[in-house]
């Protein structure tokens, strides 16, 4: 969950609880048949009395929280889950790790209170292992385990009982302090016998679960809070592993969803340290349990979950997530953490008859677009498939079927990948595509260029070409000329439709129509980078959408109407640069410029009309957007305000446009306030989706250094050494430090002038390093490169890109020179790196690649990015590249205008000299 969304959730909880109302909805979730959408749901059964009580909810509270959920997902997703939850009659089981109670109690309580306010009643069962270990170690007792089970003697049990009761009460009190009623149930739910008294001591094996204390709590409008302590029939208290207790509880309540909360946010591979996003037990369990890193608690957890899910419907699943992912897990399709489900075993066959012709015919007729549209019959497809050797891949219930044609000596073609709804929701596509990739080191497949799931194809391909509305994807083919030869052969043999590849193409960037995907050179080295699984037909399910951002070429202009822009905070250098650019824009006009320091003065440097600075406060801005000002609302707002002060101005525009059918005007924010917020579109067009910018009304403009860093590092993502992050050394002119409040102009009394915070006299002709660690642009660049790198990084990089950044201010006015030194995971030549940059930036008008090292004179007052000086260390394992931009232009004003042009439908470079 993004920072803004999480903050909004917590603020909502605090806001609602501060009202003093006891708001309760005794309705709860059940999941879809299927997996990952199902995994979004809680599961809890609510009695008729609870449903009657739910009708007393304060509607405004629920509506407020519901609107906040829209920051996590689309309205459609949120409303779907709330509708399902409201009609459900199953319980949710939330198992909470003891470490969360120690380190994240406030966050846990806020999340649970949030759910309570929406009317959901998860059954919370918590552990206290870390707290117990700490006390025992202080008393000189070394914790001891066998197969992940704590050996419990009388002394350990005495401490455990005390700790469990204290932790249980702490959580209950925290919830009630937030206005959410909770009931402690530390004992009385579990009846147990000794698991093995000689081996484990006072450890219980749960024999019976009493549901009445839980149902009584819910009938009373309380969240039930349980511990994993059990009792024998004669009253002896026994310790039970909390995961085991949650499992036994779930077997009795039969939920469709169980959520395990832990600090790590999922299960991680013991060797690669990568998050295991999905585990399909029927297919993977036996192999997993043989892995040397699967031991102790991990082995116990997997064993318990396998045994649990074997007792539940196949559509049930378990999610292991962190506290801050709870709302995302429950209310979005994308989910979070690790999903564990039974899944199905896969098969493969070289015979239609062996699989079952009629079964295949039924699935194809019901789910394949080509057949449903009448473009091809099933018999025709079978006939064409049978002309060459082929393999059919699928799962037992035929939720997913894939057909791979493989003539001797030719590249195999994935001719169809068909998925039913259950196949998509259960992510069977993941396993099927993975099996295909294991069997075939090279593969070609096709899809419509406008396929809504094209990002999935890009993520799994080493390269692609698009033409005439169709796209061809491939992996395992390393050279463009070889691709050309293969595609020609496939066309001549009528194995694919013609016109995928232009005959004169030398690299993907030359493809007409501007539909370039990842460059062949860069992408071909992403072996193993992306997790596999999804469908090329139908709608993708969770874990199937591409995590990488689809890069795009400039979009065609769709608008030439005049539009009006308000510049809020026009005093600084960036504001002045924007005034100059807008003065020469063919379609945009300034309607308002706001500066408290310069209010009343005429705007200099703008000749289209007479405009004066005005002091536009938050309330005036809201009225302006509502249309209650002296003039019509502007079409767009540029927020050129200092960091940390933009939020109320943005909210004023949003409030002013709340009642409009088209919503509020487009906002481009130049501060750092929203660059880390998921619901804002990050506007660096050369790297990230232009279509996302066009569809957004909330655009965060990247920082100057962050733009420079990302421009340099992005083409290198497939080659970076995951064990040695790149270092970027950036030197900026002193204009990057900003300006002081306006001072009196000696030559013009009454007028204010802009002065720099740091000038040449401060630097005394030298340079000044600053913010040597944790610079905000370091974090900004790493965050967004991680999004890009999720589908375009080398093996071992995972989804997190790390880098080090050292900034320096120099005694020139404007311009940034940045140098990246990047260790490589594989040996490259300077020519290889140069090709990678050229292919990555093919068709990008504001990016130029050269041989010479860029200097300040090359970039100051220029609107683009210049990259050069590419050198590789003699070892071939480290590359150095230099890049330059003007911090006031491409680092701020020019980029802002690019984003504004795209969002308003103009040519991206309208008003930008190039």
Q: Judge if 365 and 419 occupy the same domain.
A: yes
**Banded model confidence at residue 274, pLDDT cuts 50, 70, 90:** confident
Contacts of 898 (CB under 8 A, 6+ apart): 683, 685, 846, 908, 909, 912
Residue ranges in 520-665 assigned as alpha helix (H): 520-523, 573-583, 618-626, 647-656
Other Cβ atoms within 10 Å of 358 Cβ, number: 7
**Banded model confidence at residue 467, pLDDT cuts 50, 70, 90:** low
Kind plus residue range of the DSSP H or E element containing 807: strand 804-810
pLDDT digit string (tens) for 657-699? 998 888 999 999 999 999 999 899 999 999 998 989 999 999 9
Q: Judge if 574 and 487 occupy the same domain.
A: no
Indicate whether 911 belongs to any domain: no
What is the model's pLDDT at position 443? 92
% of the chain beyond a pLDDT of 90: 42
**Banded model confidence at residue 549, pLDDT cuts 50, 70, 90:** very low
Q: Judge if 210 and 120 occupy the same domain.
A: yes
DSSP conformation class of 634: P
The CATH number that applies at residue 842 is: 3.30.360.10
Kind plus residue range of the DSSP H or E element containing 297: helix 296-311
Indicate whether 906 belongs to any domain: no
Spatial distance between the Cα atoms of 480 and 484, rounded to a whole number of angstroms: 6
Contacts of 907 (CB under 8 A, 6+ apart): 554, 557, 901
pLDDT at residue 865 is higher than 90: yes
Give the count of alpha carbons within 13 A of 870, CB side only: 22
Taking 3-state DSSP, the helix, strand and coil percentages for the chain, each rounded to the nearest 5, stand at 35, 20, 45
Q: Which segment, 343-352, 388-397, 518-527, is predicted with the most confidence on average? A: 388-397
The CATH number that applies at residue 500 is: 3.40.630.30
Spatial distance between the Cα atoms of 74 and 71, rounded to a whole number of angstroms: 8
Q: What is the mean pLDDT of residues 873-878?
A: 92
Nearest to 325 by CA among 317, 340, 339, 335: 335
Indicate whether 711 belongs to any domain: yes
The burial class, CB within 10 Å (0-12 / 13-18 / 19+), for 262 is: buried
Spatial distance between the Cα atoms of 712 and 552, rounded to a whole number of angstroms: 18
Q: Which segment, 465-474, 535-544, 716-725, is predicted with the most confidence on average? A: 716-725
Q: What beta strand segments (E) does 262-383 contain?
A: 278-280, 317-321, 338-341, 346-349
Q: What is the mean pLDDT of residues 21-49?
A: 30
CA 260 to chain CA mean position, Å: 21
What is the model's pLDDT at position 454? 64
Q: What is the mean pLDDT of residues 262-291?
A: 85
**Banded model confidence at residue 69, pLDDT cuts 50, 70, 90:** low
DSSP conformation class of 271: T
Indicate whether 557 belongs to any domain: no
Write the DSSP assignment of 140-151 as a string of letters: TPPP-EETTEEP
Q: Judge if 108 and 202 occupy the same domain.
A: yes
Give the residue carrying structure tokens 């039930």. Answer: 224
What is the model's pLDDT at position 139? 79
pLDDT digit string (tens) for 564-581? 999 998 767 888 899 999
The burial class, CB within 10 Å (0-12 / 13-18 / 19+), for 512 is: exposed
Q: Judge if 350 and 337 occupy the same domain.
A: no
Nearest to 413 by CA among 358, 334, 477: 477
Q: Which residue has the higher pLDDT, 266 or 847?
A: 847
Indicate whether 734 belongs to any domain: yes
pLDDT at residue 786 is higher than 60: yes
Spatial distance between the Cα atoms of 38 and 307, rounded to a whole number of angstroms: 19
pLDDT at residue 419 is higher than 90: no
C-beta of residue 19 within 8 angstroms of C-beta of residue 56: no
**Banded model confidence at residue 52, pLDDT cuts 50, 70, 90:** very low
Q: Judge if 166 and 112 occupy the same domain.
A: yes
Domain boundary among 322, 341, 360: 341
Indicate whether 437 belongs to any domain: yes
Q: Which residue has the higher pLDDT, 221 or 48?
A: 221
Q: Which segment, 126-135, 367-376, 710-719, is predicted with the most confidence on average? A: 710-719
In Å, what is the CA distance from 822 to each residue of 269, 289, 752? Answer: 26, 38, 46
Contacts of 874 (CB under 8 A, 6+ apart): none
Q: Annotated active-site positions, please?
A: 704
Contacts of 909 (CB under 8 A, 6+ apart): 554, 845, 846, 898, 901
The CATH number that applies at residue 617 is: 3.40.50.720
Indicate whether 546 belongs to any domain: no
pLDDT at residue 245 is higher than 90: yes
**Would you say how long the chain is, in residues?**
914
What is the model's pLDDT at position 890? 96
What is the model's pLDDT at position 830? 92
DSSP conformation class of 696: -
Beta pairing class for 443-448 and 413-419: parallel
Q: Judge if 694 and 715 occupy the same domain.
A: no
Tokens standing for residue 285: 């369990």
167 backbone dihedrals φ, ψ, rounded to 5°:
-70, -35
pLDDT at residue 191 is higher than 90: yes
Q: Judge if 737 and 863 occupy the same domain.
A: yes
Domain coverage including residue 143: 3-341
**Banded model confidence at residue 628, pLDDT cuts 50, 70, 90:** confident
**Banded model confidence at residue 149, pLDDT cuts 50, 70, 90:** confident
Q: Which residue has the higher pLDDT, 147 or 262?
A: 262
Indicate whether 460 belongs to any domain: yes
pLDDT at residue 269 is higher than 90: no
What is the model's pLDDT at position 262? 83
**Banded model confidence at residue 148, pLDDT cuts 50, 70, 90:** confident
C-beta of residue 490 within 8 angstroms of C-beta of residue 568: no
C-beta of residue 131 within 8 angstroms of C-beta of residue 163: yes
Spatial distance between the Cα atoms of 719 and 893, rounded to a whole number of angstroms: 32
Give the chain's end-to-end CA distance (angstroms, integer).
Answer: 39
Tokens standing for residue 117: 């306010």
232-241, 387-396, 547-556: which has the minimum mean pLDDT? 547-556
C-beta of residue 28 within 8 angstroms of C-beta of residue 63: no
What is the model's pLDDT at position 431? 77
Residue ranges in 19-104 assigned as alpha helix (H): 48-54, 59-69, 75-86, 98-103
Residue ranges in 772-890 assigned as alpha helix (H): 776-789, 830-840, 856-859
Q: What is the mean pLDDT of residues 829-851?
A: 93
**SS3 label, residue 237:** strand
**SS3 label, residue 169:** helix
Q: What is the mean pLDDT of residues 547-559?
A: 64
Q: Judge if 375 and 423 occupy the same domain.
A: yes
Q: Judge if 756 and 617 occupy the same domain.
A: no
% of the chain beyond a pLDDT of 70: 76
Spatial distance between the Cα atoms of 745 and 850, rounded to a whole number of angstroms: 43
pLDDT at residue 826 is higher than 50: yes
State the chain's mean pLDDT as an integer.
Answer: 79
- Count structural domains, the chain: 4
What is the model's pLDDT at position 62? 54
pLDDT digit string (tens) for 502-513? 333 333 333 333
161 backbone dihedrals φ, ψ, rounded to 5°:
-60, -45
pLDDT at residue 901 is higher than 50: yes
The CATH number that applies at residue 290 is: 3.40.1160.10
Q: What is the mean pLDDT of residues 335-340?
A: 82
Domain boundary among 700, 724, 755: 700
Provide the whole-model pTM. 0.46
What is the model's pLDDT at position 95? 93
Q: Which residue has the higher pLDDT, 479 or 755?
A: 479
782 backbone dihedrals φ, ψ, rounded to 5°:
-65, -40
Domain boundary among 700, 729, 762: 700
pLDDT at residue 16 is higher than 80: no
Q: What is the mean pLDDT of residues 836-860?
A: 93
**SS3 label, residue 489:** helix
DSSP conformation class of 633: P
**SS3 label, residue 911:** coil
pLDDT digit string (tens) for 250-267? 888 877 678 999 888 888
Q: Judge if 413 and 272 occupy the same domain.
A: no
**Banded model confidence at residue 134, pLDDT cuts 50, 70, 90:** confident
132-141, 504-513, 544-553: which has the minimum mean pLDDT? 504-513
Q: Which residue has the higher pLDDT, 579 or 29?
A: 579
Q: What is the mean pLDDT of residues 733-748?
A: 60
**Banded model confidence at residue 213, pLDDT cuts 50, 70, 90:** very high
Q: Judge if 330 and 354 occupy the same domain.
A: no
C-beta of residue 361 within 8 angstroms of C-beta of residue 380: no
Spatial distance between the Cα atoms of 364 and 889, rounded to a whole number of angstroms: 54
């Amino acid at each position: 969950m993004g920072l803004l969304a999480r903050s909004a959730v917590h603020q909502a909880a605090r806001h609602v609880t501060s009202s003093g109302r006891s708001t309760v909805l005794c309705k709860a979730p059940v999941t879809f048949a299927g997996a990952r959408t199902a995994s979004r749901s809680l599961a809890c059964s609510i009695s008729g009395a609870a449903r009657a009580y739910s009708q007393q909810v304060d509607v405004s509270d629920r509506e407020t929280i519901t609107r906040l959920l829209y920051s996590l997902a689309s309205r459609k997703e949120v409303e779907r889950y709330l509708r399902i939850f409201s009609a459900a009659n199953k319980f949710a089981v939330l198992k909470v790790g003891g470490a969360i109670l120690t380190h994240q109690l406030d966050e846990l309580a806020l999340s649970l209170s949030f759910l309570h306010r929406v009317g959901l009643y998860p059954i919370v069962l918590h552990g206290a292992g870390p707290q117990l270990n700490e006390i025992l170690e202080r008393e000189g007792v070394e914790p001891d385990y066998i197969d992940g089970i704590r050996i419990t003697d009388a002394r350990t049990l005495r401490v455990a009982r005390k700790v469990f009761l204290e932790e249980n009460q702490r959580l209950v009190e925290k919830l009630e302090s937030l206005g959410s009623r909770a009931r402690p149930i530390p004992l009385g739910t579990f009846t147990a016998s000794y698991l093995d008294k000689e081996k484990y001591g006072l450890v219980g094996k749960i024999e019976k679960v009493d549901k009445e204390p839980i149902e009584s709590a819910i009938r009373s409008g309380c969240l039930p809070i349980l511990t994993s302590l059990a009792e024998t029939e004669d009253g002896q208290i026994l310790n039970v592993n909390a995961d085991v207790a949650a499992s036994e509880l779930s077997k009795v309540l039969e939920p469709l969803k169980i959520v395990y909360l832990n600090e790590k946010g999922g299960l991680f591979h013991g060797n690669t340290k990568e998050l295991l996003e999905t585990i399909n037990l029927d297919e993977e369990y036996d192999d997993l349990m043989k892995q040397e890193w699967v031991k102790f608690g991990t082995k116990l957890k997997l064993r318990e979950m396998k045994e649990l899910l074997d007792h539940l419907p196949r559509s049930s699943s378990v999610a292991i997530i962190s506290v801050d992912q709870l709302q995302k897990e429950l209310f979005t399709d994308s989910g979070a953490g690790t999903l564990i489900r039974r899944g199905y075993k896969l098969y493969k066959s070289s015979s239609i008859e062996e699989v079952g012709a009629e079964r295949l015919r039924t699935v194809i007729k019901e789910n394949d677009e080509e057949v449903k549209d009448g473009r091809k019959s099933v018999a025709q497809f079978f006939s064409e498939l049978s002309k060459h050797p082929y393999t059919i891949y699928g799962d037992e219930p035929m939720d997913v079927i894939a057909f791979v044609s493989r003539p001797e000596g030719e590249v195999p073609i994935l001719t169809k990948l068909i998925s039913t709804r259950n196949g998509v929701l259960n992510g069977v596509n993941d396993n099927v595509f993975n099996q295909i990739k294991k069997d075939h080191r090279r593969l070609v497949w096709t899809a419509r260029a406008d396929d809504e799931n094209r990002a999935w194809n890009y993520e799994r391909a080493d390269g692609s070409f698009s033409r005439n509305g169709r796209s061809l994807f491939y992996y395992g083919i390393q050279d463009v000329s070889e691709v050309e030869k293969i595609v020609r052969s496939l066309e001549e043999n009528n194995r694919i439709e013609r016109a995928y590849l232009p005959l004169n193409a030398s690299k993907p960037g030359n493809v007409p129509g501007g539909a370039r995907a990842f460059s062949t050179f860069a992408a071909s080295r992403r072996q193993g980078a992306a997790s596999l699984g999804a469908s090329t037909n139908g709608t993708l399910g969770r874990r199937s959408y591409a995590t990488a951002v689809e890069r795009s070429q400039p979009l065609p202009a769709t608008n030439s109407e005049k539009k009006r822009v308000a510049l809020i905070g026009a005093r600084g250098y960036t504001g002045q640069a924007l005034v100059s650019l807008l003065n020469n824009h063919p379609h945009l006009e300034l309607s308002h410029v706001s500066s408290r320091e310069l209010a009343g003065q005429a705007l200099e440097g703008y000749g289209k009309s007479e405009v004066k600075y005005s002091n536009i406060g938050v309330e005036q801005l809201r009225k302006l957007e509502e249309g209650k000002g002296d003039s019509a609302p502007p079409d767009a707002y540029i927020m050129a305000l200092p960091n940390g002060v933009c939020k109320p101005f943005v909210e004023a525009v949003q409030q002013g446009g709340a009642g409009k059918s088209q919503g509020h005007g487009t906002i481009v924010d130049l501060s750092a306030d929203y660059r880390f917020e998921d619901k804002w579109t990050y506007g660096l067009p050369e790297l990230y989706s232009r279509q996302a910018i066009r569809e957004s009304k909330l655009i965060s403009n990247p920082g100057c250094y962050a733009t420079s860093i990302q421009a340099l590092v992005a083409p290198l993502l497939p080659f970076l050494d995951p064990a040695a992050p790149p270092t970027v050394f950036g030197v900026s002119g002193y204009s990057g430090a900003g300006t002081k409040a306006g001072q009196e102009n000696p030559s013009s009394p009454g007028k204010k002038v802009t002065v720099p915070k740091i000038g040449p006299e401060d630097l005394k002709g030298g340079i000044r390093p600053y913010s040597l660690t944790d610079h905000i642009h370091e974090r900004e660049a790493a965050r967004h490169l991680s999004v890009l790198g999720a589908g375009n990084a080398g093996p071992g990089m995972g989804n997190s890109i790390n880098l080090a950044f050292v900034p320096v201010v120099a005694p020139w006015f404007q311009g940034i020179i940045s140098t990246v030194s990047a260790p490589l995971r594989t040996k490259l030549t300077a020519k290889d790196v140069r090709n990678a940059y050229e292919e990555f930036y093919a068709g990008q008008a504001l990016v130029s690649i050269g041989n010479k090292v860029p200097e300040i004179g090359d970039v100051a007052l220029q609107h683009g990015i210049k990259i050069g000086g590419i050198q590789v260390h003699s070892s071939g394992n480290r590359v150095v590249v230099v890049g330059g931009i003007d911090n006031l232009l491409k680092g701020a004003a020019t980029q802002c205008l690019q984003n504004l042009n795209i969002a308003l439908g103009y040519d991206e470079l309208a008003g930008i000299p190039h």
